[in-house]
């Protein structure tokens, strides 16, 4: 039996690691989990050589220069230029080696700041994104435009998915550059270790939908074999599962047995207040999918963090 060959860019990151955990031993697939040390996706020639040697049937494109609110604010040039270059090289090579399908990862931060909620796929280009992450957001918007252009001109099967805030084991737990959940886990750990307050940046009032990495891994690998899925689809838990940053912080503190030492630094920016996303298209595609409950996902993630500290990405 011939296995489907799947190349995963960003293969050692949060979602790539989740795909590896769930599917590496699957008899139907042969994976290449690509890391930045294996191939510099900023270099077109290196990208072409690497992809051509593996000759994948499918590409799952996860690689990006990515980070949380404070990285977006402090490194807008790198967030824009690196991501445009990476995406251009990956799509151009995918076209040249004639992959059956490319599935590319976007982000809900690409949607307009001023938009009617819940966000749907149709609202993507209806206004500018929030100023706090404009560079990254425009680079990711352009990735969707590039996929659509290749489809229109060459009939390439390039599709995009838009996950809400992803978290889970193997995340980047950097205190300043990470996304909110891994950064809060690391902050709470250090606060407890040093017996100082667990300080949450901002008011804690902004609302988010959080998506467990292993849920997303299962969904996007299944996308590779799905012929008729839409060109762009939001992947998100249901709207009722949207929670505040304060709620998340208190869950983390409770799990780490440090819940009576929380403070909020309201001198720090909150970023976008809400990004409530509709998963109606996804529910049409997979109505029975059971998303991981946040409490359970946080417990698993914190357990992994404690077992692997200090040898984590931070």
**Interstrand relation of 158-163 and 232-235 (parallel, antiparallel or unpaired):** parallel
Go through the chain and tell me how many residues it has: 314
Cα separation, 216 vs 171, in Å, equals: 14
List, as one string, the DSSP characters of 99-147: -SEEEEE--GGGSBSS-PSSB-GGGTTSS-B-GGGHHHHHHHHHHHHHH
7 close to 101: Cβ distance less than 8 angstroms: no
Active site residues: 136
Cα separation, 47 vs 86, in Å, equals: 9
Residue 305 CB neighbour total at 10 angstroms: 21
**Interstrand relation of 207-208 and 243-244 (parallel, antiparallel or unpaired):** antiparallel
- The residues, any chain, with a CB within 8 Å of residue 124's CB and separated by 6 or more, are 110, 111, 141, 144, 232
Residue 104 CB neighbour total at 10 angstroms: 27
237 close to 279: Cβ distance less than 8 angstroms: yes
């Amino acid at each position: 039996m011939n296995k489907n060959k799947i190349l995963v860019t960003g293969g050692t990151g949060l979602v790539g690691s989740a795909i590896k955990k769930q599917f590496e031993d699957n008899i139907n697939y042969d994976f290449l989990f690509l890391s930045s040390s294996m191939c510099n996706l900023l270099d077109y020639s290196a990208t072409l050589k690497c992809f051509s040697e593996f000759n994948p049937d499918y590409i799952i494109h996860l690689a990006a220069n990515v980070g949380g609110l404070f990285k977006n604010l402090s490194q807008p040039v790198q967030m824009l230029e690196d991501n445009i270059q990476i995406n251009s090289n990956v799509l151009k090579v995918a076209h040249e080696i004639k992959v059956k399908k490319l599935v590319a990862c976007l982000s809900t931060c690409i949607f307009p700041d001023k938009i009617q909620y819940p966000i749907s796929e149709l609202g993507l280009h209806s206004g500018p994104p929030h100023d706090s992450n404009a560079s990254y957001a425009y680079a990711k918007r352009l990735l969707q435009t590039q996929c659509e252009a290749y489809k229109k001109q060459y009939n390439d099967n390039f599709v995009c998915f838009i996950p809400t805030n992803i978290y889970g084991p193997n995340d980047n737990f950097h205190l300043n550059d990470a996304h909110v959940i891994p950064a809060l886990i690391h902050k709470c750990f250090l606060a407890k270790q040093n017996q100082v307050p667990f300080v949450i940046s901002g008011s804690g009032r902004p609302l988010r939908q959080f998506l467990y990495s292993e849920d997303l891994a299962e969904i996007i690998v299944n996308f590779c074999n799905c012929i008729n899925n839409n060109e762009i689809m939001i992947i998100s838990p249901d709207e009722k599962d949207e929670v505040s940053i304060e709620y998340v912080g208190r869950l983390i503190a409770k799990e780490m047995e440090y819940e009576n030492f929380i403070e909020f630094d309201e001198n720090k920016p909150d970023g976008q207040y809400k990004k409530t996303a509709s998963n109606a298209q996804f529910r049409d595609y997979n109505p029975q999918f059971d998303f991981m409950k946040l409490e359970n996902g946080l417990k698993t993630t914190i357990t992994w963090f404690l077992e692997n500290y200090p040898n984590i990405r931070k």
